Structure 1
Amino acid sequence: MTVKHITLRIEQFTKGALKYLLKKAKRFTASFRGNIKQILILSLIALIGFTLLYWGYKKASPEDFTNGFTLPASYTLLGLVPGLFFVDTVSKRILELRERVDYGLKNKKILLAGDKEECNNVEAQLAYSQLYDKKNITNISANRTLPEQTHNSGNFTKYDLVILCFTGTNFTPITDQQAELLSETLSTIGHDKTVKDEIKVNNSDKAVTGLIILCPLQSLKELKDLNTTNTSNESNSSKMIFDLSKHIHDTEPFTRPFTVVVNQAGRLLTDVFSLLTTLPPRY
């Protein structure tokens, strides 16, 4: 093994160690901030307990201190040990779940894109639920048209969850502009195969971005169905002819991991909660 290879191995080890320590430090900081209230309460209780213990030891005789405190405390501790193991076993997963839920609701970022009126409706419902921090919700439809949103889709990976809000008519395909936004979003946050491969190799360096499509019922069509629709519409100039090149990925959300297609804004709120708590934290 040459000196160059040894140096490269050392650099790789150092880089990996620093990344690991940074990840652990961020996780510890997030956990500490999330439980600061409990830590302060336990510290206060411990301080009061030690103060009373010291005061009793100084004021009472050794015999009285032993009979009045040491022996009862020993019996209590012996009874608490089995209970402690039981509580630890049962509650450990519950506490981990609570930490995961707290982190998802307090820290994860949501992006709303698509049709302005529908995005505003979803944003209002998220705010009304009082589960999510308003500063973590970004609605880019407020000052950008659909084409402008598509052009800026390269920034979507900064968010934990992207919600595309499309309006239209049930059983009618989404518009070319909506399809283009969906296609560019998938190209940015990861197509079906890309995400599946990252999950398979457990690639934690690149966090998966969740995706929710809010759209009319059966509006995400396969290309063969769109082609049939175009053929049928050619005889009627008042009906839309779809650009098939923009609809290539319309049905991909049905197979992409951490992706939901929903037709009701009310149900969408449940899917938001589910994805934010299911997706692993970005430490």
Structure 2
Amino acid sequence: MNKERHIYIGIIITLTMTLVMTLVLFTQFNDPTWHDVATTFIFPFIYTIIGAIVVALVGTTIADRVLENYNERLSHGLSKRVIQLLGYPDFSHRIQEDLQRSALIQNKIVLDQSTVSREADLVVVSLDLNWYNKPRKELDLETATKLNRAEQELTQIIQDIDDSQALIVLTVGKLDDSAAITKHLKERRFSTIVNAQGRVLSDIHSLLTTLPPRNNR
């Protein structure tokens, strides 16, 4: 981009010199034909080219700054943030394997099955739930037990997690949409519920790169 700027500046200097020479000739020679050519073609052409180059220079400068800031955020999000994997061990280990296999996200991974870590920028909670499509009061014992346990775990996590930490909840089963904790989770910023293992990496990537800096980091 610096090379392009030098070319633009060179063109502006050349056009400016041409404009000065044209003005000198315009004032020195009282030729109506020359005056018509200068006023109808040469002057407008030079003004247009100079204006276009100035706009291009300003635009590329702004674009470079925006792109530089975006690249810094992207690099920071994919290499310097901390991911914590909580909950159902089978899902957590699969997520860890997928993160390592992708080789795109180079963040530190904390495997802790107990409490939310203050160090974590993103907490990924895996829940072992069954899928159901009937009213809650009609659920079988196993499904109801898993659902109650998951809601208790989520309630504790929501209490422990900081507002500056992002949250992903992964389950191939189903949460109760009418439950207070589910509604709260859906309203929480930088949080999402994922029902497919294959979507987790894209959501992790998205949250890591859009989450605001924490503690001036």
Bigger CA radius of gyration? 2
Number of the residue aligned with 2:207: 275
Offset at residue 138 of structure 1 (A): 1.1
Please state how far the C-alpha of 1:179 moved relative to its aligned partner: 2.3
Q: Offset at 1:270?
A: 0.8
Give the match for residue 125 of structure 2.
164
Closer/same/farther in 2, CA of residues 77 and 107 from structure 1, 3 Å limit: farther
- Please tell me whether residue 132 in structure 1 is matched to residue 105 in structure 2: yes
Alpha-carbon shift at residue 175 of structure 1 (Å): 3.6
User: Whole-Å Cα distance in 2 between the matches of residues 168 and 187 of structure 1?
Assistant: 21
Coordinate RMSD, CA, aligned: 2.8
SS in 1 for 2:85: strand
Matches within 5 A, 1:149-160: 149=114, 152-153=115-116, 156-160=117-121
Gaps of 5+ in 2: 15-52, 133-142
Between structures 1 and 2, the one with greater helix share: 1
Deviation of 1:217 (Å)? 4.1
Supply the distance in 2 between the matched residues of 1:220 and 1:88 (Cα, whole angstroms): 50
Q: Aligned partner of 1:112: which letter? A: L
Task: Find the partner of 2:10 among 75, 89, 102.
Answer: 75
What is the CA distance between 1:76 and its match in structure 2?
Answer: 6.5
Which whole-Å CA distance do the structure 2 matches of 1:125 and 1:93 have between them? 31
**Which of the numbers 91, 95, 99 marks the counterpart of 2:64?**
91
Mapping of residues 11-50 of structure 1, within 5 Å: none
One-letter amino acid matched to 1:219: L
Amino acid at match of 1:85: V
Q: Which residue of 2 aligns with 1:180?
A: 152
Is the contact made by 2:172 and 2:197 (CA closer than 8 Å) also made in structure 1?
A: no
The CA deviation at 1:89 is 2.0
Q: CA deviation at 1:121?
A: 0.7
Shift of 1:266: 0.8
Matched position secondary structure for 1:112: strand
Partner of 1:252: 184
Partner amino acid for 2:199? R
Deviation at 1:170, TM superposition (A): 1.1
| Separation (CA, whole Å) in 2 of partners of 1:189 and 1:281 | 16
The aligned amino acid for 2:97 is A
* Residue aligning to 2:161: 189
Relative to 1, partners in 2 of residues 1:77 and 1:103: Cα closer, same or farther, differing over 3 Å?
Answer: farther
**CA deviation after TM superposition for structure 1 residue 111, in Å:** 0.2
Q: Aligned in 2, Cα 1:221/1:92: closer, same or farther, shift over 3 Å? A: same
Residue among 201, 209, 218 paired with 2:165 = 209
Matched length: 161
Identical-pair percentage: 24
- 1:220 corresponds, among 166, 170, 176, to 176
Does the C-alpha gap of structure 1 residues 78 and 260 become closer, same or farther in structure 2, counting only changes over 3 Å? Answer: farther
SS of the residue 2:212 aligns to:
coil
